[in-house]
């Protein structure tokens, strides 16, 4: 599962990140409210561990925005604010659980596991974007109704792009999140795997010459998925326009003859 830790105390944030990673989760840590919402838009986390006393944007504002924009993300509030009314307010704003500082790390991990189990049970495992349908539980992918056979790494790369829903992913992000490695000079593994995906998408619909272009290259930035169905249609070629005009003229002559 993807977990986002939002904590302005660096030592605690790093500690929580390492602990959750040892639980087997993919974990990111940010230190302020604005960064939390930016990262949530990029990663679509399954769980957010959210401190309330944050710089730039208070945790309660982040909680409100999460419930409005990311309703499927579970939010565990972690704070030193012990007033009952504060806890009631957070629960009313949509927090799924509440842990007071200082806290037991083992209890926190148990609460995180419970929230993730609950989310895994009720969450829709199917991602849909740009004609691609991915079932994360059954590990299957269809493009415009045609099954696509992907390797494990191809599936992980496609899943990451699907979760971003059209947002550009840099090569550094893809190396970090999909390959869990740091950028190396001269590496082109991202481009190679994008080529593999494009070929398989195109092969599923050989009559559609633009099939593989559902993965778009953003020059100088990286890659993103695009929904071709939302791209405006341009004017038809002049040969087709000419043929249409001839048809109209012929129809007019027939009408006069009648």
Asked if pLDDT for residue 244 goes beyond 80, the answer is no
Residue 85 belongs to some domain of the structure? yes
The answer to whether residues 71 and 182 belong to one domain is no
* Rounded-to-integer distance, Cα 102 and Cα 108, Å: 11
pLDDT at residue 186, rounded to an integer: 59
- CA 215, distance to chain mean position in Å, is 14
CB 65 within 8 A of CB 71: no
Residue numbers of the domain that contains 11: 2-122
Confidence of residue 182 (pLDDT cuts 50, 70, 90): confident
The answer to whether residues 112 and 210 belong to one domain is no
How do residues 41-94 score in pLDDT, each as one tens digit?
A: 877 788 999 999 899 999 999 999 998 888 888 999 988 877 888 888 888 988
> What CATH number is attached to the domain comprising 32?
3.40.50.2300
pTM more than 0.75? no
Considering only CA atoms, which of 33, 188, 49 is closest in space to residue 112? 49
Asked if omega into 102 is within 30° of 0 (cis), the reply is yes
The answer to whether residues 42 and 83 belong to one domain is yes
Q: How many domains does the chain have?
A: 2
């Amino acid at each position: 599962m993807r977990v986002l830790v939002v904590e302005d105390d660096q030592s605690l944030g790093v500690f929580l990140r390492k602990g959750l990673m040892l639980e087997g989760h993919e974990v990111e840590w940010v230190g302020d409210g604005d960064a939390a919402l930016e990262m949530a838009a990029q990663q679509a986390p399954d769980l957010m561990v959210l401190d309330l006393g944050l710089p730039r944007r208070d945790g309660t504002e982040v909680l409100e925005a999460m419930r409005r924009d990311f309703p499927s993300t579970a939010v565990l509030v972690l704070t030193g604010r012990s007033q009952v009314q504060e806890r009631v307010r957070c629960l009313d704003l949509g927090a799924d659980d509440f842990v007071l500082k200082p806290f037991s790390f083992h209890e926190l991990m148990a609460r995180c596991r419970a929230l993730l189990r609950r989310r895994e049970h009720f969450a829709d495992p199917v991602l849909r974007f740009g004609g691609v349908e991915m079932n994360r539980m059954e590990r299957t992918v269809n493009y415009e109704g045609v099954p696509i056979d992907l390797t494990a790494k191809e599936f992980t790369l496609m899943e990451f792009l699907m979760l971003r829903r059209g947002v550009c992913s840099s090569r550094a992000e893809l190396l970090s999140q999909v390959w869990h490695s740091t950028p190396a000079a001269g590496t082109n593994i991202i481009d190679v795997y994008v080529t593999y995906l494009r070929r398989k998408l195109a092969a599923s619909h050989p009559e559609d010459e633009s099939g593989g272009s559902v993965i778009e290259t953003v020059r100088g930035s990286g890659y993103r998925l695009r929904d071709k169905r939302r791209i405006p249609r341009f004017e038809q070629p002049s040969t087709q326009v000419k043929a249409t005009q001839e048809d109209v003229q012929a129809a007019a002559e027939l009408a006069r003859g009648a």
